[in-house]
Amino acid sequence: MLATQPMPAQAWSGEGHRIIGILAADMLDPEAKAAVADLLSDETDPTLGGVASWADEVRPEDAWKHTSPWHYVNIRDGECHYAPARDCANGDCVIAAINAQLKVLSDKQQPRQARIEALKFVVHFIGDVHQPLHASGRADRGGNDYQINFRDGSENGEGTNLHGIWDYRILASHEEDAQRYANELATEGFAHNARDRLPGNHAAQWAEESCRIVEQPGLYPKGHVIDSNYLDQWRPLAQQRLREAAVRLAEALNKAL
């Protein structure tokens, strides 16, 4: 059954998405912060971090199954140059979804419920597009078909795939609590001063960045066997993408709201 699915259930795992939301909330201007609080007032956890995984949670439901392609994009030219007609037919990719949902969110004439859902989609999809394997040019379903044996100290290791390594294990092997992890990343000085020097201001460019990361030597490990050294090697880049997603999410919400 899993082999028939276009992409996995989550990107960055729930905690990774929550980290992005926590960091972004601290960079909202007062008007955007008030608008977010209003739109999320009826949520169980009325914060950006609290709704960051909603798009994954509803995707299996019949009413939302059509949103599954909105979580990723396959850039097919081999050089990470996005072409909408080729890579995003009918607007069914994460790039088009970000742009479409931001348009709904910014339009105060839209029904309140539509704007609430748009906000929750934007929080999630900007996180998705910064997970490198959600914007890959390779024909392996974002690393889901690239099998990995993770040598975790057990006799035979653990079977997984490359997407799972990037979704969860790289971050969780360092810190599993989202709030503590976000605090750590924020204290490194990036989140509060990066806006003026962070390149890229639209979803297509963010996806092309992710695609180019996928092609960096060693991200696809030769031999399909890794250990904790792989996690340590690539964790700084994963953390960088979390920070970039947070800054760009905050910028997008400040503009839309």
* pLDDT tens profile 98-131: 999 999 999 999 999 999 999 999 999 999 999 9
- Top-ranked range on mean pLDDT: pick from 13-17, 64-68, 75-79, 176-180: 64-68
If 0-12 CB within 10 Å is exposed, 13-18 middle and 19+ buried, where does residue 93 land?
buried
Q: Tell me the C-alpha to C-alpha distance, in Å, between residue 128 and each of 123, 227, 234.
A: 9, 25, 17
- Percent of the chain residues topping a pLDDT of 90: 76
pLDDT at 196: 46
pLDDT interval class at 140 (50, 70, 90) = very high
pLDDT interval class at 154 (50, 70, 90) = low
Question: Which of 131, 148, 163 lies closest to 227, judged by CA?
Answer: 148
Range in 157-171, 178-192, 210-224, 226-240 with the lowest mean pLDDT: 178-192
- Amino acid (1-letter code) at residue 157: G
The residue-averaged pLDDT of 52-80 equals 95
Whether pTM > 0.95 for this model: the answer is no
Tokens for 74, please give them: 């396959």
pLDDT interval class at 168 (50, 70, 90) = confident
The residue-averaged pLDDT of 16-35 equals 96
DSSP state of 192: T
pLDDT interval class at 189 (50, 70, 90) = low
Return the CATH class of domain 2-256: mainly alpha
pLDDT at 78: 86
Question: Which of 126, 5, 139 lies closest to 68, judged by CA?
Answer: 5
